[in-house]
Chain A
């Protein structure tokens, strides 16, 4: 439901990861962060979620921005968004 479950980690096997490919999230450059990022946006009351996405694309020049869950135009409050990547 809404409570976070307590999780245990089980190890099935061990292996190494090649440093030549991929990168830990904390090490991403800002450019990379913007390609794989989410914003917890406090949407203003008035515009629809779709409009806000359009503004972000225009203001920041991003090609792919999506929102996760519409909120009615009368609704304000947080709406997660991903700039740079659409889910």
Chain B
């Protein structure tokens, strides 16, 4: 953030602290989303460095929070004005800078090493199994017989469940997995973990994003056409 005037460290820290918690934001003119005022959470703001009017901040926030608008608004409250000079996302969910961060060069080189030389090591370091992306979600492991129906969008019923991770609350996102550890779909939980364990029937989760191709596991519906 670059300030447009001078403020004391104390005043800066005090105002930044006020922005922790829920804030209002309207997406800017150049944006991919609808321009309605919405609420976003700022979990924490940390000042890493300050050199005069340049302030290096680390912000923990909800996805979809505009840093540009945050800097502008901080400037307004400080009275001197401010703008975002530079931005770098250092974390998104389970994706951090520390693990498997690759540049476009890495990706292209690794791909060519494999395509042209048959060397797999590099591409396997750059491209990760999709299961990596759900490591932070609670898992529900299902029987083989339940898999194909879920791939086709059917809700997951309790009898199809073998294992669950706790805690799962209603409306939580869950990763629906096979016994082999493959990601079938990301779903929304309709029952909490304690209820799933004691129930014998009912819908436990509904698929929201199906990842596995239908037909990977055989269809178990009676009367269904065999693939």
- Residues of chain A touching chain B, judged by Cβ–Cβ distance below 8 Å, are 1-2, 4-5, 7-18, 21-26, 28, 30, 33-34, 36-45, 52, 55-56, 59-60, 68-72, 74-80, 82-83, 85, 87
Contact = CB atoms under 8 A, between A and B. Distances in A.
B92 A37 contact: no
Q: B interface, by DSSP: helix, strand, loop or mixed?
A: mixed
Given A79-B89, A83-B127, A56 B101 contact: no
A8 B95 contact: no
A40 B95 contact: yes
Interface stretch (B1-9, B10-18, B45-53, B132-140): B132-140
Given A12-B161, A87-B209, A21 B88 contact: no
Contacts of A68: 92, 133
Contacts, number: 170
Contacts of A16: 179
Given A7-B138, A22-B216, A25-B131, A41 B89 contact: no
A48 B217 CA distance: 38
A80 B129 contact: no
B143 A23 contact: no
User: Top 6 A-B pairs ranked by shortest CB distance?
Assistant: A17-B179, A77-B89, A37-B127, A25-B129, A77-B88, A75-B87
Interface string B100-123: 111110011001001000001001
A12 B201 CA distance: 13
B211 A87 contact: yes
A25 to B, nearest CB: 4
A21 B144 contact: yes
A76 B144 CA distance: 42
Contact of B92 (A39, A56, A78): A78
A33 B128 CA distance: 7
B178 interface: yes
A85 B182 CA distance: 15
A82 B95 CA distance: 13
Contacts of A80: 92-93, 95, 133
B165 interface: yes
Given A75-B67, A79-B92, 11 more contacts: A9-B164, A14-B162, A17-B179, A18-B144, A33-B127, A37-B127, A37-B128, A38-B130, A55-B104, A77-B90, A82-B130
